[in-house]
Amino acid sequence: MGKSEKTNPYLAHLLEDNHIESSSLNKYTGKPYSEKYYELLKVRKALPIYDKREEFLQLVKESKVVVLVGDTGSGKTTQVPQFFLEEGHLEKNKMIVCTQPRRVAAMSVSQRVADELDVPLGEAVGYTIRFEDVTSPKTILKYATDGMLLREAMSDPQLSRYSLIILDEAHERTLATDILMGILKTVVRQREDLKLVIMSATLDAGKFQDYFSRDPEHPLTVPLINVPGRVYPVEVYYTPEPEKDYLEAAIRTVIQIHANEPLGDILLFLTGEEEIEETCKRLNHDIPLLVKDSKPFRILPLYSSLPPNAQQRVFEPPPSNGRKIIVATNIAETSLTIDGVVYVIDPGFSKQKIYDPRVRVESLLVSPISKASAKQRAGRAGRTRPGKCFRLFTEQTFKKDLIETTYPEILRSNLANVVLTLKKLGVDDLVHFDFMDPPAPETLMRALELLNYLGALDDEGELTQLGKLMAEFPLDPQLSKMLIVSPQFQCSNEILSIVAMLSVPNCFLRPRDAQKKADAAKARFTHSEGDHLTLLNVYYAYKHNEEDPNWCYQNYLNYRSLKSADNVRSQLEAMMNKLSLPLVSTDFQSAEFYVNIRKALVNGFFMQVAHLESNGYYLTVKDNQVVSLHPSHGLDHKPTWVVYNEFVLTSRKYIRTVTEIKGEWLLEYASHYYELANFPVGEAKRDLEKLTIKNKKPRKQK
């Protein structure tokens, strides 16, 4: 047992450091440290952040909020919480939490820190992500997704379990991190026993400092600490003239690098799946033709909807004496890191979400990236040795045209869910809420209006009983409303399945080389009254076929999607039980089985309804947008009224996932929205008026 102590060469040296346990027993487990602990300790002490340890601890002692800037490789994510622990700053029964924008990061970082502390994961160190809580009463350091900490705040707005909250990767400005910053700015001033550390890659540091210090009544001094990263230099090249066609330029650049530059993998950033698959095909065809005596190469596409085994291939070693050429979306900018990349090709574009509050539509648009993004992409070339980055735009463009940082998500999103969350967190005055970047007032108004129509907020903007329930669910407000009322329509089991299916990526596969077969497979599940009902059929069939991946494959269904829908469904079912919402079904033989489901749909989605006009097009109610049924629909006729799940703006305006409803139901379940006095003149209004008269007659006769 004592062997490792005596023979360990690092031990004597360690004992000189007063902040490292001078006893050879691990204070968390009571056991002697393992060999691995000392090995990892040596690595830890070589991290750049280690030199800033005393400075950091001093600043945290003096200040409530500290901003820490550190590039990749500085070690901040793993070491900063440990500094705090070692110093014994943690109060009894309190914890440290460190947020991450992504689940995998929360999981892998917590495992690393558990190893460094020589403790089993889930005891002193753990993580919490959706569907998985690997913590215990012993846990004092927890890594969590930012969304998960936000959920916790909803039941404990002071986040009173924690005495240190670290928001990591704050520069990414996710919705959840932005909301957390907004509430923590107040909480940190209210709670004597709370410290806050904001960790970021260089760019926005000053902005975080300003934001947290600024307050008319309680200004704070927010110090900033800078930690160098550990990356290799990357030489950046620009094109002398702007490129007309970035795809052609990209292909040309790949070929030039492959022909002329020493070995080392190539990473090309493109915007989407189709573009990537096309380019891979072109490269496979062109390289052997254009490169004399080409070295071996392997072209690898990389995007999120690619099956996991195909994604994994980018991590395999390159062909012997050759190179990998990876053609990726933004997934390779932050989510996945591929060592061995030496050359980055950056055309300077990505698909970005934008929200237009006027038409209430979120859409994806190919847009120029920001300077910060371009720098991040370039950095991908310097992970293992010095690299090169080829920007397919001019230096002038970089300096003059690109914006500094990508607009935070909160400025590009529909905020219905954000507003519901903030209300639940007790924020009364949303218009004056201190957002780091305040969203457009119109976007907030749209969100308030939607929540008011759904009955989540009353006319004073107060959260209603229904709204409180809705906020409990990790769903868009329309979906949670529909789910909560579904027991009244005797179909909560079915709506649970539909909501789960709507919450995951599209489950229907349609490979380019088997489109007919895929369509035929889909036809077997199709319900002619609506796509929502088709989704229900698919879910049933998946369960009846014992969740078999092969069955999914044969039926052109995405197994990953269905499995995840099933997960979501279980989570929602548990919440329904917790909230005493009964799980009920209408008898399947009854004529009302599908009618009830469609009525429940109307209760959540009455604002997403389209009316068939005499010219054969659909017009969305109130917004009066001319739309077409998305070609993926399964209706066998064109119903007068449909609800839709999504408004898709591509080559045309489409409504996707549509189900037939009756006009009467709109008047019955959403009379406040369909009040005819405030309804825009048109065919939809005339149809509704006819229905009103028809409805009133029998009543008068009674």
Partner DNA sequence: GAGCACTGC
**CA triplet 508, 512, 518: central angle to 5 degrees?**
40
* Phi, psi for 156 (deg, rounded to 5): -145, 80
Of 650, 647, 648, the closest CA to residue 607 belongs to 647
Of 686, 692, 645, the closest CA to residue 666 belongs to 692
- Cβ nearer to DNA, comparing 79 with 352: 352
- Cβ nearer to DNA, comparing 417 with 596: 417
- Cβ nearer to DNA, comparing 56 with 349: 349
Shortest reach from residue 293's CB to DNA, in Å? 35
**Amino acid type, 279:** T
Q: How far apart (Å, rounded) are the C-alpha atoms in residues 593 and 588?
A: 6
Shortest reach from residue 414's CB to DNA, in Å? 11
Buried b (16+ CB within 10 A) or exposed e, 229-268: bebeebebebbeeebeebbebbbbbbbebbeeeeebbbbb
Residues 6+ apart with CB under 8 A from 575: 472, 473
The answer to whether the beta carbons of residues 163 and 134 sit under 8 Å apart is no
* Phi, psi for 248 (deg, rounded to 5): -60, -45
The answer to whether the beta carbons of residues 532 and 644 sit under 8 Å apart is no
- Cβ nearer to DNA, comparing 71 with 273: 273
**Helix, strand and coil in the chain, % to nearest 5:** 45, 20, 35
Q: Which two tokens stand for residue 649?
A: 């703006």
- Cβ nearer to DNA, comparing 279 with 586: 279
* Phi, psi for 102 (deg, rounded to 5): -125, 145
Distance of CA 205 to the CA centre of its chain: 23
The answer to whether the Cα torsion of 280, 286, 288, 293 is positive or negative is: negative
- Cβ nearer to DNA, comparing 209 with 352: 352
- Cβ nearer to DNA, comparing 107 with 255: 107
Of 503, 643, 645, the closest CA to residue 566 belongs to 503
Got the DSSP string for 143-194? Answer: EEEHHHHHHHHHH-TT-TTEEEEEETTGGG--HHHHHHHHHHHHHHHH-TT-
- Cβ nearer to DNA, comparing 329 with 586: 329
Shortest reach from residue 450's CB to DNA, in Å? 15
Shortest reach from residue 145's CB to DNA, in Å? 4
**Amino acid type, 62:** E
The answer to whether the beta carbons of residues 139 and 369 sit under 8 Å apart is no
- Cβ nearer to DNA, comparing 197 with 648: 648
Shortest reach from residue 599's CB to DNA, in Å? 25
Q: Which two tokens stand for residue 491?
A: 């179909």
- Cβ nearer to DNA, comparing 8 with 417: 417
Give the per-residue SS3 of 340-363. CEEEEEECCEEEEEEEECCCCEEE
Shortest reach from residue 465's CB to DNA, in Å? 20
Count Cβ atoms below 10 Å from residue 155 Cβ, excluding itself: 9
The answer to whether the beta carbons of residues 370 and 405 sit under 8 Å apart is yes
Q: What SS3 class is residue 2?
A: coil
- Cβ nearer to DNA, comparing 2 with 631: 631
- Cβ nearer to DNA, comparing 271 with 497: 271
Shortest reach from residue 365's CB to DNA, in Å? 10
Q: How far apart (Å, rounded) are the C-alpha atoms in residues 290 and 487?
A: 65
Shortest reach from residue 473's CB to DNA, in Å? 8
Place of tokens 């879910």: 539
Shortest reach from residue 272's CB to DNA, in Å? 3
Shortest reach from residue 35's CB to DNA, in Å? 33
Shortest reach from residue 226's CB to DNA, in Å? 28
Shortest reach from residue 691's CB to DNA, in Å? 30
The answer to whether the beta carbons of residues 392 and 122 sit under 8 Å apart is no
Shortest reach from residue 387's CB to DNA, in Å? 22
Q: How far apart (Å, rounded) are the C-alpha atoms in residues 148 and 103?
A: 10
Q: How far apart (Å, rounded) are the C-alpha atoms in residues 80 and 47?
A: 11
Of 58, 84, 80, 61, the closest CA to residue 69 belongs to 80
Q: Which two tokens stand for residue 170?
A: 């704050």
- Cβ nearer to DNA, comparing 132 with 215: 132
Maximum pairwise Cα distance, the chain: 99
Q: Which two tokens stand for residue 181?
A: 């910053």
- Cβ nearer to DNA, comparing 129 with 430: 129
Shortest reach from residue 224's CB to DNA, in Å? 27
Residues of this chain that interact with DNA (CB under 7 A) are 101-104, 129-130, 145-148, 151, 174-176, 271-274, 303-305, 329-331, 335, 350-353, 364, 417, 474-475, 503, 506, 508-510, 515, 519, 628, 630-632, 648, 650-652
Shortest reach from residue 651's CB to DNA, in Å? 5
- Cβ nearer to DNA, comparing 99 with 490: 99
